[in-house]
Amino acid sequence: MRQSQMLLPTLREAPGGADTAGHQLLLRGGYIRQLAAGIYSYLPLGRRVLRNIETIVREEMERAGAQELLLPALQPAELWRESGRYEVYGKELIKLQDRHERDFVLGPTHEETITSLLGGDIKSYKKLPLMLYQIQTKFRDERRPRSGLLRGREFLMKDAYSFDSSLEGLDESYRRMYEAYCRIFERCGLDFRPVHADAGAIGGEGGSHEFMALSAIGEDTLAVCPACAYAANLEKAAAVVPPKTVADGALPPAEAFSTPGSRTIPQLVSEYGLRAEGIIKTLVYEADGQYVAVLVRGDHEVNEIKVKNALGAVNIALALPEAVQEQAGMENGFVGPVGLKLRMLIDGAVVAMAEGVTGAGRKDYHLRHVVPGRDFAIEQVGDFRNLEAGEICPECGAGHIRFERGIEIGHVFKLGTKYSAKLGAMFLDATGVNTPMIMGCYGIGVSRLLAAVAEQRLNDDGVVWPSGLAPYHVHLLPVSVKDGQQLVLAEQLYMELTGRGFDVLLDDRDERAGVKFKDAALIGCPAMIVVGKDAAEGKVEYTDRRTGIREVLETSEVIERVAASMSPNH
């Protein structure tokens, strides 16, 4: 491609509001442009990278035995009412009406659509397993779209759905998809990690895994054990219950003491010389309209996903101070379990305490010597806290947990029959009984993947794409297009390289060398060939952008050098 003819508007400065380095470079490099919050256009350069990612995804889906189809983005609301999800997702689900005022949604995912497609005709178990996938635009009206393509409101997803006649079949489909995902992310040159994950509102009793691209700007936190292979999204990571502390001797009764203005743990610790692990923290949550109290040790944090799952709720948030007063009859900041009339979820580490300090239930007072089980009933004990960095690994009990940040680029779920039963995707089993198909669903954020690769493979000057994703393999730069020798040699190399099947971007613009080099760094092709003053002796300068190594080559050496360096995923 000749750069002088290309829509490739590079920028010296990132537009304001671009919040991550990768996003800034995708804007400056002329890859994407924002149309509205969370809504992006892919310029020719961005479209080429996206297409390369799609090609890798398609090859690995085909290898896993999946068949590609394409489902509508515009879906009748009836399907979402049948599945019970129409009212569940709030404002994130984009709803609209057609000209006849019939209700529709813009698809954020396609469980309903694909199961209703299969619900049309009953299948014999002999027709299963089926693995279907699509690469298609999804719509989710995020409250705070941010970080460019990492969290958009319209984005490209590969979503696959498996249909089996047995749980063993689902395990096999799941395993094949899991392995296909590992191959896809390896071919994209990503530093990634599969982690145990929470299945969330999608349901599905069979568990799930997320695939995380490691990145300091990732929104997710991974709990990772350096000793064993354990890795889990912090939302899911099981916390270990410490051994029961036994009091030496009889414990005095709970007694109130004055703590004017001390509503927080740090205040109690600093003003009354208490230890955080000796305090019982009581937080009131509102989950799908119901109010519950969660008790965790003062040095621990509540894990809201675990609480939400224990309650089977979809939405959860800390109750506002006025709601605490109204629902618990206690002053916010001084709430405690003694005399509390709310349902209590108690973390195992609290039950392991011999005694603790808690809110007294009235302004400016706390209680000391509160004994779980004596001064308040232990109704529901569970794991309601975050695993902490440094804690013993819940899997091997040897390593100490470390936290890493990650970008979720893939998520695979065992769904079971949750959707097939509701939407009638049935099959006749070997005994002729009509049975709901056993499903799995598997997603990759294709546009998010592009941004994750950019975040992982950038330097100050630009992104360095792995050759399997790069918009072009080679950036060919005649330093001065006014110099006939340079231009002729560049054109000759352009013909030879494209003739050998390489994608080449020829910077044939009449621009100063500095401008060309800055743009080449922003565009980030794996190989750059500079045709400069050595053109007279038939020599060019070859740069491998991943290693930074530069070498002067005879024209005749160029083809082999490029072929040698274009390995598929580095």
Should residue 328 be labelled a site residue for ligand 9G3 when binding is judged by CB under 6 A?
Answer: no
Interface with ligand 9G3 (CB under 6 A), residue from 49, 93, 313, 553:
93
How many residues make contact with ligand 9G3 (CB under 6 A)?
13
Question: What DSSP string describes 313-372?
Answer: -S-EEEPPHHHHHHHHSS-TTS--STT--SEEEEEHHHHT-S-EEEE-SSTTEEEEEE-B
| Identity of the residue, 268 or 313, whose beta carbon is nearer to ligand 9G3 in the bound complex | 313
Should residue 205 be labelled a site residue for ligand 9G3 when binding is judged by CB under 6 A?
Answer: no
Interface with ligand 9G3 (CB under 6 A), residue from 159, 235, 395, 408:
159
| Identity of the residue, 202 or 269, whose beta carbon is nearer to ligand 9G3 in the bound complex | 202
CB of 201 to ligand 9G3, least distance (A): 7
Interface with ligand 9G3 (CB under 6 A), residue from 46, 189, 443, 471:
443
Neighbours of 343 (CB within 10 A): 13
Should residue 481 be labelled a site residue for ligand 9G3 when binding is judged by CB under 6 A?
Answer: no
Scanning 6-14, 301-309, 439-447, 540-548 for contacts with ligand 9G3 by CB under 6 A, the matching segment is 439-447
Scanning 87-95, 290-298, 503-511, 558-566 for contacts with ligand 9G3 by CB under 6 A, the matching segment is 87-95
Should residue 92 be labelled a site residue for ligand 9G3 when binding is judged by CB under 6 A?
Answer: yes
Should residue 89 be labelled a site residue for ligand 9G3 when binding is judged by CB under 6 A?
Answer: yes
Cα separation, 138 vs 151, whole angstroms: 12
HEC states along 480-548? CCCCHHHHHHHHHHHHHHHHCCCCEEECCCCCCHHHHHHHHHHHCCCEEEEECHHHHHCEEEEEECCCC
| Identity of the residue, 57 or 458, whose beta carbon is nearer to ligand 9G3 in the bound complex | 57
Scanning 229-237, 319-327, 435-443, 535-543 for contacts with ligand 9G3 by CB under 6 A, the matching segment is 435-443
Is the peptide bond preceding residue 76 cis, with omega within 30 degrees of 0?
A: no
Strands in 356-359's sheet, in edge-to-edge order, are: 255-258, 365-370, 356-359
| End-to-end C-alpha distance for the chain, whole angstroms | 23
CB of 183 to ligand 9G3, least distance (A): 18
| Identity of the residue, 84 or 252, whose beta carbon is nearer to ligand 9G3 in the bound complex | 84
Cα separation, 464 vs 521, whole angstroms: 8
Beta strands in 348-491 (DSSP E): 356-359, 365-370, 380-382, 402-416, 426-428, 434-436, 438-445, 458-459, 462-463, 474-478
Tell me which residue has tokens 């990650």.
Answer: 406
Should residue 480 be labelled a site residue for ligand 9G3 when binding is judged by CB under 6 A?
Answer: no
Should residue 40 be labelled a site residue for ligand 9G3 when binding is judged by CB under 6 A?
Answer: no
Should residue 308 be labelled a site residue for ligand 9G3 when binding is judged by CB under 6 A?
Answer: no
CB of 108 to ligand 9G3, least distance (A): 4
Binders of ligand 9G3 among residues 404 to 423 (CB under 6 A) are: 411
Scanning 43-51, 190-198, 438-446, 534-542 for contacts with ligand 9G3 by CB under 6 A, the matching segment is 438-446
Beta strands in 30-129 (DSSP E): 32-36, 39-42, 67-68, 74-76, 95-97, 103-106, 123-124
Task: Return the H-helix or E-strand segment holding 211.
Answer: strand 208-214
Tell me which residue has tokens 């005709």.
Answer: 121
Scanning 325-333, 357-365, 441-449, 521-529 for contacts with ligand 9G3 by CB under 6 A, the matching segment is 441-449
CB of 297 to ligand 9G3, least distance (A): 32
431: burial class by Cβ within 10 Å (0-12, 13-18, 19+)? Answer: exposed
Cα separation, 544 vs 528, whole angstroms: 7
Give every CB contact of residue 246 below 8 A, 6+ residues apart in sequence.
Answer: 354
CB of 92 to ligand 9G3, least distance (A): 4
Interface with ligand 9G3 (CB under 6 A), residue from 20, 109, 259, 467:
109
Yes or no: say if 536 and 543 are a contact pair by the CB < 8 Å rule. Answer: no
Should residue 204 be labelled a site residue for ligand 9G3 when binding is judged by CB under 6 A?
Answer: no
Give every CB contact of residue 491 below 8 A, 6+ residues apart in sequence.
Answer: 506
Yes or no: say if 336 and 370 are a contact pair by the CB < 8 Å rule. Answer: yes
Should residue 145 be labelled a site residue for ligand 9G3 when binding is judged by CB under 6 A?
Answer: no
Should residue 314 be labelled a site residue for ligand 9G3 when binding is judged by CB under 6 A?
Answer: no
CB of 109 to ligand 9G3, least distance (A): 3
CB of 79 to ligand 9G3, least distance (A): 11
Yes or no: say if 241 and 352 are a contact pair by the CB < 8 Å rule. Answer: yes
DSSP state of 17: T
| Identity of the residue, 110 or 385, whose beta carbon is nearer to ligand 9G3 in the bound complex | 110
CB of 519 to ligand 9G3, least distance (A): 37
Cα separation, 335 vs 341, whole angstroms: 11
Beta strands in 6-141 (DSSP E): 32-36, 39-42, 67-68, 74-76, 95-97, 103-106, 123-124, 130-139
Residue nearest to ligand 9G3 (CB): 443
Cα separation, 442 vs 208, whole angstroms: 10
Scanning 17-25, 316-324, 355-363, 437-445 for contacts with ligand 9G3 by CB under 6 A, the matching segment is 437-445
| Identity of the residue, 87 or 271, whose beta carbon is nearer to ligand 9G3 in the bound complex | 87
CB of 192 to ligand 9G3, least distance (A): 17
* Helix/strand/coil percent split, the chain, to 5: 30, 30, 40
Should residue 551 be labelled a site residue for ligand 9G3 when binding is judged by CB under 6 A?
Answer: no
| Identity of the residue, 159 or 404, whose beta carbon is nearer to ligand 9G3 in the bound complex | 159
> Which residues in this chain contact ligand 9G3 in the complex, by CB under 6 A?
85, 89, 92-93, 108-109, 140, 159, 202, 411, 441-443
